[in-house]
Amino acid sequence: MNKKNYLIGSVVVAGACALFALGNLDFSKIAGSYSKKNLSILQEQNANAAMEWMKARYIDVTTGQPVSNEKLAEIQKQISKLDINKNIAFTDEGPDNIGGRTRAIQVDRTWENRLWAGGVSGGLFVSNNKGNSWERVTSYMNAGASPFISSMTQTPDGTLYVSTGSNQESWSGNGVWYSTDFGTTWATVPGVSESTEVESSDADNYVWMATSTGLKKWKLGDPSITSVSVASGGCFALKVSKDGEVIVGAYGSNKTWVSSDGGLTFADKSGTSANNLVPVGAGRIEYSVSPIKNSSNKHSLYAVRTNSNLLSMHVSHDDGVTWTQFVGASAPPSDFDIYRDQGTYNSIVSVVPNNPEQILIGGIDIWSWKQTVNNPPSGGFEKVTQWFVSPS
């Protein structure tokens, strides 16, 4: 009680002194001045600076080390137990349309109105009205799942899989989590500590997982995971065709391996562009497989290679047997600047659903490439978004 009195008294005295001082000033004799200053918080920085800033947010101040997934789960549980019945009312003033860096989105197979979204560091969210509004899936965090979501998929039986981990940031995940009841309860795939890509097909209920110890597969009910024999080292990128026939992945120094028999065997498709192969050594590589077959009754596959900026893009129209480079390196100050020095931070490619000869490439903005010449495959690019313009 005495401390409160001293505090109030101090404020009153300080206020009186301030008013006295202001009252004795002649404002007519005071000339205004202005000098321009640069605000560092408004200056654009690169992706590495952004990652360092984000890492600092997850440092335990008592240990100086990154906060563990177990600690984050415990914090979440403590927050959920806080007294929410206090007489305090809050009004949400927005914004409500900024989800941060959302790495994974899944349209629910069982109900198209339901969308799932996973943030790189923000956890899992769900919308039941086609994305008009979102809510956090608290059961996911309460189960002890990592908020560092990298990928999602849903098998034909309706089971939702969420992989956690990252190839770019220092934090790791804590496995592949799955729910058979639309997010009410959660469990982990046995024997997987982290995964940066999880894929499935329409052919069966297997999930394929890219992990630091290689390619794994599993289906609900299996007592343990199956290690798929491909190459030594970790698997860092992965895509599976909708019919399950074609699987493409990156191993080691991002060497491209392709299977056209549903994962029974894999062939090394890394080498030189002159030999119709995909070069190695990129800091990051992303793949996409066409949802439908092309006019040759084969799948079209795409590979996008980046370091800080674009290294090359490649296409195969024969299930990944032969590859053609259709564009080479590009970087600032070129107008064809997809990544702006963030090629290992934000890169993705996706085949347009009904056209195996057209893709969308995501970097800072989204670009479209459409094939116009068949032999060799070539075409043109079009920038289809501006990152600073509202979608509406």
| Fold topology of 99-228 | Methylamine Dehydrogenase; Chain H (2.130.10)
DSSP-assigned beta bridge partners for residue 215: 210
pLDDT of 254 = 93
Contact between residue 328 and residue 377 where contact means Cβ atoms under 8 Å apart: no
Beta-carbon-side half-sphere exposure of residue 282 (alpha carbons within 13 Å): 34
pLDDT of 86 = 67
Tokens 């997010």 belong to which residue? 183
Contact between residue 287 and residue 250 where contact means Cβ atoms under 8 Å apart: yes
User: Where do the domains of the chain lie?
Assistant: 99-228, 262-392
Token digits for 93?
């003033």
Query: DSSP character for 113?
Result: T
pLDDT of 96 = 57
Encode burial over 55-71: b for 16+ CB neighbours within 10 A, e otherwise: eeebeeeeeeeebbbee
Query: DSSP character for 12?
Result: H
H or E stretch covering 188: strand 187-188
- Mean pLDDT, contiguous 10-residue spans, the chain (392 residues): 42 40 42 47 60 77 78 76 69 64 93 95 92 92 93 98 83 91 98 95 98 96 96 95 98 95 98 97 97 98 98 98 97 89 94 98 96 95 90 69
Encode burial over 376-385: b for 16+ CB neighbours within 10 A, e otherwise: ebebebeeee
Contact between residue 315 and residue 323 where contact means Cβ atoms under 8 Å apart: yes
